[in-house]
Structure formats: structure tokens, C-alpha cells
Amino acid sequence: MKYLLSFLLLLYFLPSQAQLTSGLTQKPDTSYTNYSAFQSTRKKYPNIILVKEASLPGVQEKRNLVYCSLKNRNLYLDAFYPKAGKRKLPAILIIFGGGWRSGNRAQQIPLAQRLASKGYVCFTADYRLSTEALYPAAVYDLKSALRWMHANATKFNIDTTKIAVLGFSAGGELAALLGTTRQNPAFEGSDPCNNQASSNVNAVVDIDGILSFVHPESGEGNDTKSISASTYWFGYTKMNNFNLLKEASPLTHVGKNTPPFLFLNSSVDRMHAGRDDFRKILDEYHIYSEVHSFPDSPHGFCMFEPWFTPTVDYIVGFLGKVL
């Protein structure tokens, strides 16, 4: 009887159907942009202002830098940084959102520019989306971006003991996963890009990104109405491959080696699934964290005023404490 129960449990957690690959169109999904988010959001919030790219005093930039050459294409990032001084500076890898399927690195350029004006070396990076490659390709790409930052620290005057990763929405989940797996070689990937450098991060800023795909608060992987964003990314629903979704959940990996965390959240509760349980574990290990929630705010609040400026202020305040 004991062996029968073990066998049945094993069957429950094994994938129960073939991996879904119909989403691998190899064509960019351009459905989510700053402007499309603005058009949708202002129906409920008519007074919002979309924050756009700007030339800020003292901020330099280099765009279209190759951080990794894959077999079939290059991965790029853009750099925004203060004019060089004698002091090494903290750096931030900024990850865009779009359901692991849409969006591009230009999404968070306004945030990168503003943070660069505050004294941070900022990079906005490409990563492979679910139209091109399934999980964990995006994780491997962003680990490569971190290694590139470490390898090019001298060129950009970076203090490698003060590197943060920041992401919005799907990018927030990825940022949290990079932070919680920072000493886990299983998440580094096998690509040749900057593989002699470290991918370590010293702080994480999660802007409305979930902490778990399998937490009761999460709606990801529930395809009762339509195929969810995470199903396209994993190729499985939560029921069909529970273990894979659990593996990709930052909540699974949080522990004594996790860096300090800042959570910035909208009033859309499902977008911070698992956050409170995550913070309880941080507290157990006496790891610093902060939460700031904006009442009556949309999911994409960080791209719009009146929330953009306080978002920047919270980030600068937090990083000033922990880096």
C-alpha cells in the first residue's frame, strides 16, 4: 500500500501531457508597449501621464551593446550612466515586463535614465520571450547579462559589490528569481557568454512581480478561460507540470543567501502572489526587506505619473540603505 501511494504521488507531480509549443511563433509579440498600456490604463485613470524618454543633465548612454551572441541571434542591452568620476558606482540591471511574452528593453528606459541621474549605472536588457524560447531560456539570458556587467565593471566604473536587479511584472518575477538563485549553478545555463564572470546580485527590486506560480494567491497557470501567460512560457499548465512551475518560483528558493528585497506594488493583489510568505522567510534569516503599495493604482503604475516619481524615490531610498 505504501508503494502504491508513492507511485500515485509520483504520477501526480509528473508532467501529464506533452509540452505546449504552439506559442513558439518565432515572431515578436508587440501587443504590450508603454503606449498600449497607457491607452488601456487611462480609461480608468484619465489623469495619468505616460513618462517618456528624455535627455537628462549628466546622463550618458550607449545603446545596442551585445551582451551575448547566441547561435541564431545577438542579445542586446542599453546603458545609461552618470559621467565618470573617481568613485565607483552602484549598478542596476532593469528587466522589462510583458507576461514573459511581449515587451522589449525600451520599456524601462525612462526609469533607467532617471536612476542614472541619481548616480546609478543602469542597463536595460533583452531576453528571449516565450514566442522564441521556453523557460528557463530567459533566466539564462539575464544571468548572462549580469555576468556581462561584472566583466565590464571597469569600463562602466561599477562597484561589483553593489549590483542590484530590478524588474516590473514578469520582469519583477525574473528579478526575484535571479536574486534567490544567485549562488545556484543550476540556473546559470550552459551558454558561453561571459562564463568566467560572476552573476551575483546584492539587492532586488520587485515591481509587481509574482513570487510564486503555485501559491494559492497566483492565477498563473490557470487556463480555464484562455491560455495563460505562464503556460506559454513553460509549455505546461500548473496541473500538468506542478514541479516545473514550483522550480521557477522565487518563493521556492528564498533562504539565507537571499539579498535584501524591495517590493513595490499596485492595488492588483494577484500581482504580488506569495509576497507575504516570502517576507516571512526573509525575516527568519534577518534579511532586510521593504514593501510599499500604491492605493488604487494600476498594474503598470511605474510607467505613469503620479506614481513614477515616488517609485524612483522608493528605489533610491532602499538602495541607499542596502548597497
Residue 198 CB neighbour total at 10 angstroms:
16
Q: Are 65 and 114 in contact (CB under 8 A)?
A: no
Q: Are 173 and 250 in contact (CB under 8 A)?
A: yes
Q: Are 126 and 144 in contact (CB under 8 A)?
A: no
Strand blocks (E) in 33-190: 49-50, 59-69, 74-82, 89-95, 121-125, 158-168
Yes or no: is domain 45-322 CATH 3.30.70.120?
Answer: no
| Selection from 156, 204, 141, 201 nearest residue 176 by Cα | 204
pLDDT for 16: 54
Domain residues of the chain, as ranges? Answer: 45-322
**pLDDT tens digits along 138-176:** 999 999 999 999 999 999 999 999 999 999 999 999 999
DSSP conformation class of 112: H
pLDDT for 2: 41
| Selection from 199, 157, 208 nearest residue 179 by Cα | 199
**pLDDT tens digits along 227-252:** 889 999 999 998 889 999 999 999 99
- The parts of the chain modelled with pLDDT lower than 50 are 1-14
My answer on whether omega of the bond before 136 falls inside 30° of 0, hence cis, is yes
Q: Report how far Cα 231 is from the mean position of its chain's Cα atoms.
A: 17
Residues 6+ apart with CB under 8 A from 184: 253
